[in-house]
Structure 1
Amino acid sequence: MRGARQRGMALMVVMMMVALMAVVATEVMFRQDRFRARTENLTDWDKRYQYAIAAETVAIQALIDDLEDDRLNNALLDDCIEETWAVSLPPTPYEDAVLSATVQDLQGRFNLNWLIAQQGNEFVRDELWRERLAALLGNTLVDPGKAQVLSHELADWLDSNNIVDGVEGAEDAEYRWRRTPNGPVAHESEMRALRSMTAADIPSAAFWSLFTALPPGTKLNVNTASLPVLDALFADTVGEAGTQQIKTLREEAAITSIDELMAQAPFAALEEQQRTQIAERLDVRSSYFQVMVDVQHNDQRSRLVTRLQRLEQGPTEVFSRQLVPILGPLEPPCNPFYNEATTQQTTGADNEG
């Protein structure tokens, strides 16, 4: 009887050991599968990134080649019609991936850093450009009534002092959990940090392609500028007539001289000081560009957005590179609003703030 009990206990111990080994084996297999899946995901991600970098390199070389061609032809200008880079690369198979890409001219957008001017070591607000931003926001925000408030808040966000300039501004005390730059911003998305900016104010994700963040002295390229930005620029002088004149001229050929542009109607009717103020912020060529690349591999997609400066004399350098969420299609080449008046004319499917 005693031997039977011992054999029964031994059998139970063996069964417990088998069960424990089964549990351990299952856990090991689960962890191996999870590790293998993670490794495959990382490998796929790295592969997509390397493909995107390769496409970026090709786009940068196209911009460099374009500059060399301009030098050879003695025509240093950039527009949305004749440039070889101002086209889309449609979804194109490459090895085991599919690549698509576009290039945009950042100097065809409203530079948020125009709202400040450098005086010594300080940055002071430029009231004229603040009003022009308000004009642009008034034509594009869901609630145009917030245009003045947001323009004042952005000017306070950028200037060096801690004084609220105007009753609608906001300074450091309003942003206790954030740190205001008190100088030029690095990306237009910093507008999201403003006290009064909400996602509901933004009509679509395309809204952001009206803006950029470049050095304060960077000029606007009239050959690639969007119509809403031109309307804002001329709001306090020649109005829509100036925008229409530029649109008409560049439909015929690229504008080659700002002086010649200012000599034509309606700009010729302005006072000399007004013409000078407009002309000193305009150009016919560009140095700042954006390259957007989409890569699809194994049913997964990645988007790389690269910003670069192409110098007329010197190297072409990347100053920003980001992997971003894919919220919609790639931006159109050159300028999404080259011939469109407002963000409302873009597809409403990408209603992302």
Structure 2
Amino acid sequence: MKHPARASLHQTGMALIVALLVVAMVAAMSLLFTSRQQLWMRQLENRNGFTTATMIAFAAIDMTRLTLRDDARNTKVDHLLEPWTIPIPPIAVEEGHIAGRLRELQGRFNLANLLPASDATLKEDDPGLLRASRALGVSTGDIAKLLQAFQDLRKQEPGSTPELAELLERAGLQSDSSQAALLQHAVILPETTPVNANFADAEALQASIAGLSSGDASAVIARRASKPFMNMDEFREALPAGLRATLKEDAITLQSRYFIVEIDAWFNQVHLGYEAQLRRDGTNMPEVLWSRRSSFADS
């Protein structure tokens, strides 16, 4: 028979252990709840930050569209000295900041200019293709393969406006030199377009103008360095005399229609980038052809 005092002491000890276990369980549950609540709050903040940063980015794209519309209303010539060509450093907004830049696209050679009028396959002895191949330093086969991928895509998705990098992947072009040259000097646009002489590099000019040598193209660019071409007569005067009369009217322009806007937006801990391709028709509000998250952005 147990002693009453010992039994009481045993019961008290058991009760104390149970109480400690209950306290430990409550503390663990409280810690778990607090941890989950903090995680939920962080997720909510990130989600709200992402939404706000996205809204800021699209607002910036719309502001860029307004800038391009007003630019077309005020001037008929686009050149490197215009204010919109200067990248915008980070500007503070409520609880964040935003930066961006606007890139003109018609300073590059538009590969769509090489496509036949019909859906016929581009011949590798086509004069325009041969000229572009020499100017860009890319084989005629690689360019033809890229354009075939473009034609195939347009058949599958009529009206689509793919980026050049996407077409390079579709075409399976493995040559690093070809990829680098095309991404630097060329572009693919939804329609044929002239090259803007105020933005074009020597390669784009050579690809666009029959008979223009590398040296002559460099001389044209040097001439515009201090003063952009303000009319086509000024541009013709910069060409070798023998090419002035043969210059095709649809090969060169001084006003651009196609642009890429790149936006970086930060809000709290969220950073994301957006880019959009814009097409400007006269003095109307430029159209957004596509927009997407930038691959370099973090979130």
* Alignment TM-score, normalising by the size of structure 1: 0.66
- Is residue 319 of structure 1 aligned with residue 289 of structure 2? yes
Cα distance between partner residues in 2 of 1:261 and 1:303: 37
Q: Secondary structure at the match of 1:275?
A: coil
> What is the aligned partner in structure 1 of residue 148 from structure 2?
156
Residue 153 of structure 1: CA displacement? 1.7
- Is residue 217 of structure 1 aligned with residue 221 of structure 2? no
Deviations 1:137-191 (A, max 9, x none): 42xxxxx7xx44422321332346xxxxxxxxxxx9xxxxxx9879975211121
Cα distance between partner residues in 1 of 2:100 and 2:244: 44
- 1:42-57 alignment, distance < 5 Å: 42-57=47-62
> What is the aligned partner in structure 1 of residue 80 from structure 2?
80
> What is the aligned partner in structure 2 of residue 239 from structure 1?
213
Q: 1:275 aligns with which of 241, 247, 252?
A: 247
Residue 254 of structure 1: CA displacement? 2.8
Q: 2:162 aligns with which of 173, 176, 186?
A: 186
- Is residue 292 of structure 1 aligned with residue 262 of structure 2? yes
> What is the aligned partner in structure 2 of residue 337 from structure 1?
none
Pair 1:15–1:200, CA change in 2 (3 A): farther
Residue 101 of structure 1: CA displacement? 2.0
> What is the aligned partner in structure 2 of residue 89 from structure 1?
88
Deviations 1:10-47 (A, max 9, x none): 88887776666555544433332222111111112222
Deviations 1:187-239 (A, max 9, x none): 11121232232668655xx97353333123222111111333224334x5221
Pair 1:302–1:229, CA change in 2 (3 A): same
Bigger Cα Rg: 2
- 1:306-345 alignment, distance < 5 Å: 306-326=276-296
Cα distance between partner residues in 2 of 1:129 and 1:157: 19
Residue 311 of structure 1: CA displacement? 1.3
Cα distance between partner residues in 2 of 1:129 and 1:10: 94
What amino acid is the match of 2:204? V
> What is the aligned partner in structure 2 of residue 250 from structure 1?
224
- Is residue 36 of structure 1 aligned with residue 41 of structure 2? yes
Pair 1:12–1:199, CA change in 2 (3 A): farther
Residue 324 of structure 1: CA displacement? 0.5
Task: Say whether the 8 Å CA contact 1:88–1:103 is kept in structure 2.
Answer: yes
Task: Say whether the 8 Å CA contact 2:90–2:97 is kept in structure 1.
Answer: yes
Q: 2:122 aligns with which of 125, 130, 137?
A: 125
- 1:167-178 alignment, distance < 5 Å: none
Task: Say whether the 8 Å CA contact 1:221–1:286 is kept in structure 2.
Answer: yes
Residue 103 of structure 1: CA displacement? 1.3
Residue 285 of structure 1: CA displacement? 0.6
Aligned-residue Cα RMSD (Å) equals 3.7
Residue 57 of structure 1: CA displacement? 2.7
Residue 283 of structure 1: CA displacement? 0.9
Deviations 1:34-88 (A, max 9, x none): 2211111111222222222233233222222211212xxxxx111112x231222
Q: Secondary structure at the match of 1:108?
A: coil
* Further displaced range: 190-199 or 303-312: 190-199
Provide the aligned length of Structure 1 versus Structure 2.
288
Unaligned runs of 5+ in 1: 71-75, 139-143, 161-171, 173-178, 328-353
Pair 1:196–1:56, CA change in 2 (3 A): closer
Task: Say whether the 8 Å CA contact 2:104–2:259 is kept in structure 1.
Answer: yes
> What is the aligned partner in structure 1 of residue 63 from structure 2?
58
Pair 1:116–1:237, CA change in 2 (3 A): same
Cα distance between partner residues in 2 of 1:184 and 1:54: 24
Cα distance between partner residues in 2 of 1:181 and 1:18: 65
Q: Secondary structure at the match of 1:125?
A: coil
What amino acid is the match of 2:142? L
Cα distance between partner residues in 2 of 1:104 and 1:217: 19
Cα distance between partner residues in 2 of 1:157 and 1:207: 15
